[in-house]
Structure 1
């Protein structure tokens, strides 16, 4: 194993440079805390980008991994297993699909959205070549999901994109103008996480459901970042009181184990047929056993309700800091975007890390907060103290930068 001082060199030499610089070498986690190779503790209020629903090393997670790994870990998709069937039934119940719903398992959010893309193509055929998605939305980095992602700067190095996807503004007026009988599907993030935790306008999802139903298009809701209780509901679409044709989930359902799923409702459940899609590892007993255990704990421990309560506490704590840097808080539950008045989010993240807090800059003016669903009063208070110090550090730096300096000659 490399010495702690050598890890940055190891990263530069051995890892593909497709991401930015690594911020620390983390070696251990427990609950909402992680420790780096030098023994420094951090309060983790990012949770692997909304992944670690139960925090780190939760006994339920650890036991599920160990028990299933000692029993049956992989058998291919030629066979069914009890954990796979149990998780599918649980997801259908939590999403409210009814008995006609179906579940396809993959290994990530991108794979879930790729399956949804193919679902849309199967529904549309030659008569419905158009697929709509929202500007500034994020659905993944594979070629299919990148085509759905409404961020031109991400697409530019990989052009041409798969054809047929059009991006529209997140307004009811844009929906009304774009939807017609040649649209196969509309893809929607109920909260745009990678855009800075941006809420959709009031009534948008209801309008999307009404218009897609009127024109015979599928409404596909990307719940990869918002699902598994993070927003204070099991799935964010439920806040709008609608029933989509399909949702995609990943991240928080596995609590740290890689898994994703496409969940269908109604007639959309009959679109796939043998040979149209598959995955060697998708739905393996190890992944599905862990995800079922994670969702069971979220349900039994009341963590969906906890997400709603703690989210309000965090918003109140941020407001109580009285920082001139903070413009607003967006999002729902424990998916929060703190909007800043100046493009200094990366500096705030760095200052927070210095004070033992892990958060994320979704963009230059947004701090993303997505802690484990298990947090309580102690963690919220610790967050407020560290975040307040980080904001103060950056505010002081801004004041110093904008204060005219008196020269010796004029003094």
Structure 2
């Protein structure tokens, strides 16, 4: 059988219409099929390949770690250099920021994925505050495991899996009036700094500051989900830096691993310490912070810093907006290289996306905004590549 047929026969599918692109090699912003056709990846594997596919420094770090050891013991028991050095580097990116209580975010719990980071943070909030209510936003997505899915702000994804976690409430992202729903019953508010799956909705600084103030007033933990926005995506290492509002707990994944699976939730040590007792081993994982993934993540972090990738993000975003001008484009929303290009409806957008893929440019849409095209390329994309990508998209618009 051909690989495509084996894929359809034996890999569990999540829709009746998978893209089913067969990729044999990837490098930089490019994906290559077995017959040599090149595809420009304008979505970075959904926010993962911030430093590009197979960045040489990431590959080198992976090979170096493989030559030393793989899994040794469950998370948190052995001193493993890749984990320790990664945690130190992550903490250093946060050294200038303190929570309203005066704490530094200096403790890192490494996970396998973003949804596991969300799960860990939910447990941390309940255990630290002794409360059960958790608030998230409508049209937000935080993962598909049952706790993270409970936070999802659209019933479409949840209704067939109920009952989910009780005591979950929802507010509208960016709406000041909804902040009164945060009370002394609320353990945590889990919120994206930039609302991603609703089509890149950027809140005001006033809103985020009011959210911070309300959480502080009620003793509620503010958890920023930077699973999509972290590691330079918006033009600063963390998106919250652009708003001057510091969370109590920070979540990361996706772009964190340079293509390897890893996530983290980070908090001040006095918060994270609650997992040590009552019960002991309050949160455990076997493969969280796998040494190969941790080595890849550290190389990714250092690459972003050493190559100063954040500095060019805003200018590259402006190039997309300069070249993507067409009467059928209704609006372009963005924070750095996290972009939504809005069209009339899903039918039009889907046809444009399909035409673009046929001609070598991969884009996507958003879970809760299916009339907007997702553009989130590797931060390493060049001006010539941006021009080339936009030309293909504009030709796709004309063709459909």
- Is the contact between residue 184 and residue 218 of structure 1 (CA under 8 Å) also seen in structure 2? yes
**Is the Cα contact below 8 Å between 1:325 and 1:342 reproduced in 2?**
no
The match for 2:169 is: 166
Q: In the alignment, what sits opposite 1:312?
A: 318
Equivalent residues of 1:191, 1:331 under 8 A apart: no
Does the 8 Å contact 1:42/1:356 carry over to 2?
Answer: yes
- List per-residue Cα deviations over 1:102-126 (Å, max 9, x = no partner): 100001001111111111111232x
**SS of the residue 1:37 aligns to:** coil
Query: Is 2:44 aligned against 1:47?
Result: yes
Whole-Å separation in 1 of the counterparts to 2:385 and 2:398:
20
Aligned CA RMSD, in angstroms, stands at: 1.6
Q: What is the aligned partner in structure 2 of residue 398 from structure 1? A: none
Which structure would you say has the larger Rg?
1
Distance 1:388 1:188 in 2: 34
Could you tell me how far 1:267 is from its partner in structure 2?
4.5
Q: 1:360: which partner in 2?
A: 364
Equivalent in 389, 396, 406 of residue 395 of structure 2? 389
State the 1:89 CA deviation.
Answer: 0.9
Maintained 8 Å contact 1:53/1:374: yes
Cα 1:305–1:378 shift into 2, 3 Å: same
> For residues 232 and 113 of structure 2, what CA distance do their matches in structure 1 show?
18
List runs of 5+ in structure 2 lacking aligned partners: 99-103
**Contact conserved, 2:91 with 2:105, CA < 8 A, in 1?**
no
Query: Counterparts of 1:155 and 1:372 in 2: how far apart (Å)?
Result: 31
What residue is the counterpart of 1:109 in the other structure? 114
Q: Which ranges in structure 1 are unaligned for 5 or more consecutive residues?
A: 395-411
Q: Taking structure 1 as reference, are residues 253 and 171 closer, same or farther at Cα in structure 2, changes over 3 Å only? A: closer
* 1:121-168 deviation per Cα after TM superposition (whole angstroms, max 9, x unaligned): 11232xx32111000000000000000111110001100111111111
Q: Which residue of 1 aligns with 2:351?
A: 347
Task: From 22, 26, 31, give the equivalent of 2:28.
Answer: 31
Quote the residue 2:157 is aligned against.
Answer: 154
Given the two structures, how large is their TM-score scaled by the length of structure 2?
0.92
Per the alignment, residue 402 of structure 1 pairs with none
Q: Secondary structure at the match of 1:203?
A: helix
Deviations 1:19-69 (A, max 9, x none): 441341111111111111232111111110010112122211111111110
Q: Are 1:198 and 1:337, in contact at CA under 8 Å, matched by a contact in 2?
A: no
Cα shift at 1:204: 1.9
Taking a change above 3 Å as real, the CA distance of residues 300 and 171 of structure 1, as seen in their structure-2 partners, is closer
Task: Report the counterpart of residue 282 of structure 1 in structure 2.
Answer: 288
Q: CA deviation at 1:202?
A: 4.8
In 2, the alpha carbon distance for the partners of 1:220 and 1:100 equals 12
Residues 1:171 and 1:56: Cα distance change in structure 2 (over 3 Å): closer
Cα distance in 1 between the residues matched to 2:336 and 2:176: 28
TM-score (norm: length of structure 1): 0.90
Shift of 1:284: 2.3
SS of residue paired to 2:339? strand
- Which has the higher mean CA deviation after the structures are superposed, 92-101 or 158-167? 92-101
Seen in structure 2, the aligned counterparts of structure 1 residues 52 and 100 have a Cα distance that, compared at 3 Å, is closer
Alpha-carbon contact 1:95-1:234 (below 8 Å) kept: no
Q: Distance in 2 between matches of 1:187 and 1:216?
A: 14
Matches within 5 A, 1:11-410: 11-19=7-15, 20-76=17-73, 77=75, 78-96=77-95, 101-125=106-130, 128-265=131-268, 267-273=270-276, 274-318=280-324, 321=325, 323-343=326-346, 344-362=348-366, 363-394=369-400
Partner of 1:403: none
Q: Is 1:9 the equivalent of 2:5? A: yes
Structure 2 distance, partners of 1:316, 1:165, is 42
**Kept in 1: contact 2:42–2:362 (CA 8 A):** yes
SS in 2 for 1:163: coil
Distance 2:205 2:176 in 1: 13
